[in-house]
Amino acid sequence: METIQKTAAAIDVDLIRKQFPVLHQQINGRDLVYFDNAATNQKPQRVIDALVEYYSGYNANIHRGIHTLAEKATRAYEQTRETAKAFINAASTEEVIFTRGVTESINLVAATYGKAFVEEGDEIIISTLEHHSNIVPWQFVCEANNAVLKVIPVTREGELDIGVFKQHLSSRTKIVAVNHASNSLGTINPVKEIIRLAHAKGAVVLIDGAQAGAHINIDVQDLDCDFYCLSSHKMYGPTGTGILYGKKELLEKMPPYQGGGEMIKEVRFEKTTYNDLPYKFEAGTPNIADVIAYRHAMEFILEIGRENIAAHEHALLQYGTRQLAELKSVTPVGTAANKVGVLAFTVKGIHHFDVGQMLDARGIAVRTGHHCTQPLMDCYGIEGTVRASFAVYNTKKEIDLLIEGLERIINFMKK
Ligand SMILES: Cc1ncc(COP(=O)(O)O)c(C=O)c1O
C-alpha cells in the first residue's frame, strides 16, 4: 500500500489519484473530471479492498457469535468505532452510534429526543441553509408535538444571520439543528458560537456534519455539540453507513429508536429492558461490511491530514472562484467568506440541467438542481444551480477544463 506524503505545504495529488481506480477512465471520450464530491466522493482502493476482504475472508454476523469468523468481524466492526471516536474526539465509544448516514442520524434524534422532550409551544430552530434531511424530521416533531419551527435567515452572500438567531433564541428553544458546512453554497457556519448561544438558553444542538467530514477538523468536545452527524460516503467511505455522535448523558435518557435484536438486554412479554450504549440504538444486524470499510476511509483522511486537505481544497476554491468571475454570463451563488470547496453558479439564459448535460458530454461531472435545499433556492429566487464541489484528488487543471467547457457552452448557446 502506497503511503501518502504528509507535508503541510503540498500534498502529492498524483499519488492520491493513483489510489482511486474510478478516476482513471474516460467519459464520452474524455478523461473523467469528477466534481460531484458533495453528493458523494470516490473511494480509495483500500476501502474497496476492505469490503472484498470482509466478504471473501470473514463474513459473519457480529457480537453474538463465538466462532472465529464472528469474533474477527466483531473486532473489525468495533475497531471502526474506536477510529470514529478518535476522528471526532468523542469522550467514549459509547457515544458513537452507527447509522445509515446523516439522514438516519437526524431522524433518530428527532424521533427519540425530539418526540420525548419537545413539548407543546416549544421551539426548534433550524436555518435556511439546511438540507431537506435537516428540515423534514423537525417538521415531523413540530407536527406531532405542537411545537414551532423557527428558521435562521441567510444573507445574500449565504452566511447565517446570527443577529436574527439571537432574537429567535428563548427559554422555549429546545433544539437547534444546523449544518457545519452547506452542501449548496459551501458556507462554513460558526457552529461553535451557535452552540454556545443555544446552550446559554438551555437548548441542545445537533450539527449536520455531512459536508464537514472530509474537509474540516471535527472535535465534538471542543465544539461542545450535543449531537453530530456524519455520512461515510461523503468521506471516501462506502454508502449505507455513518455516525451519530451524542453526549452520553443525553443518549442515556433518550428512548430507543428501533426495536429488535441487539438493542435489548432482556425481552419478556411483560417488559423489555434495553441494552447499554451504543447498542441501544443499533437494532438488528447492522451494515457490517460498510462499517468495517469506513475505518479505512477515516484513516485515509487522517493520514493526509485534515489541515492539508483543507489547504489544498481552499487553493482550488480560490482558483476556481477567480476563473469563474471572468465569465460574464456566470453568476456565483454563495460567496461567504469562509467556505469549503463548493462553486455554485447559474449561467444566464441556460438552464442548469442543460449546462450539466453539456459538461457531461465533455467528461465533467457536476451536480445540477436544488441540491435538496429548496427553501434556500426559493430564498435566492432560483430553481437551482450548477455545482462543482472539490475533493482532495481534484486539480487546477480540472478547473481549467471546467472553465473551458463553460466558455464553449456559453458561446455555443449564443449562436
Ligand atoms: C448538508 C447535508 N446534510 C444531509 C445530507 C444527507 O446525507 P445522506 O444522504 O448521506 O444521509 C446531505 C447529503 O447531500 C448534505 O449535503
- Ligand 1 atom nearest 371 alpha carbon: 14
CA of 104 to the centre of ligand 1 (A): 10
The confidence score (pLDDT) of residue 3 equals 41
**If you average pLDDT over every residue of the chain, what do you get?**
96
- Ligand 1 atom nearest 234 alpha carbon: 10
The confidence score (pLDDT) of residue 1 equals 37
Q: How far apart are CA 108 and CA 126, in angstroms?
A: 17
- Which tens digits make up the pLDDT trace of 292-310? 999 999 999 999 999 999 9
Is the per-residue pLDDT at 97 higher than 50? yes
Q: How confident is the model at residue 7 (pLDDT cuts 50, 70, 90)?
A: very low
The pLDDT of 234-250, averaged and rounded, is: 98
Is the per-residue pLDDT at 282 higher than 80? yes
More confident residue, 413 or 339: 339
The confidence score (pLDDT) of residue 8 equals 45
The confidence score (pLDDT) of residue 65 equals 84
342-347: strand order across its sheet: 330-332, 342-347, 385-389, 367-369
The confidence score (pLDDT) of residue 415 equals 76
Pocket-testing residue among 126, 211, 227, ligand 1, by greatest number of atoms within 8 A of Cβ: 211
Q: How confident is the model at residue 377 (pLDDT cuts 50, 70, 90)?
A: very high
Residue 36: DSSP 8-state: B
Distances (CA, A) of 76 to 2, 211, 358: 22, 26, 44
Cell of 387: 455545482
The pLDDT of 74-99, averaged and rounded, is: 98
Is the per-residue pLDDT at 229 higher than 50? yes
The pLDDT of 68-86, averaged and rounded, is: 98
Show which residues are catalytic: 372
What is the DSSP code string of 317-363?
A: HHHHHHHHHT-TTEEES---SSB-SEEEEEETTB-HHHHHHHHHTTT
CA of 286 to the centre of ligand 1 (A): 20
CA of 206 to the centre of ligand 1 (A): 14
The pLDDT of 339-365, averaged and rounded, is: 98
- Which tens digits make up the pLDDT trace of 378-401? 999 999 999 999 999 999 999 999
- Ligand 1 atom nearest 133 alpha carbon: 4
Q: Is 48 left (phi over 0), alpha (psi -120 to 50) or beta?
A: alpha
Ligand 1 pocket at CB < 6 A: 38, 101-103, 131, 133-134, 179, 183, 208, 210-211, 231
Q: How confident is the model at residue 233 (pLDDT cuts 50, 70, 90)?
A: very high
The pLDDT of 229-250, averaged and rounded, is: 98
Residues 6+ apart with CB under 8 A from 68: none
The pLDDT of 172-176, averaged and rounded, is: 98
The pLDDT of 182-205, averaged and rounded, is: 98
The confidence score (pLDDT) of residue 64 equals 83
CA of 176 to the centre of ligand 1 (A): 17
Q: How far apart are CA 61 and CA 73, in angstroms?
A: 7
CA of 129 to the centre of ligand 1 (A): 12
Pocket-testing residue among 102, 232, 235, 342, ligand 1, by greatest number of atoms within 8 A of Cβ: 102
Q: Beta-carbon neighbour count of residue 14 at 10 Å?
A: 9
The confidence score (pLDDT) of residue 48 equals 98
Q: Beta-carbon neighbour count of residue 408 at 10 Å?
A: 13
134 within 8 A of 125, measured Cβ to Cβ: no
Pocket-testing residue among 40, 231, 234, ligand 1, by greatest number of atoms within 8 A of Cβ: 231
CA of 368 to the centre of ligand 1 (A): 15
Q: How confident is the model at residue 104 (pLDDT cuts 50, 70, 90)?
A: very high
- What pTM value is reported for the model? 0.97
Handedness of CA 121, 125, 131, 134 (dihedral sign): negative
Is the per-residue pLDDT at 252 higher than 50? yes
- Ligand 1 atom nearest 39 alpha carbon: 14
Q: How far apart are CA 92 and CA 82, in angstroms?
A: 9
Q: Whose CA is nearest to atom 12 of ligand 1?
A: 210
Q: How confident is the model at residue 255 (pLDDT cuts 50, 70, 90)?
A: very high
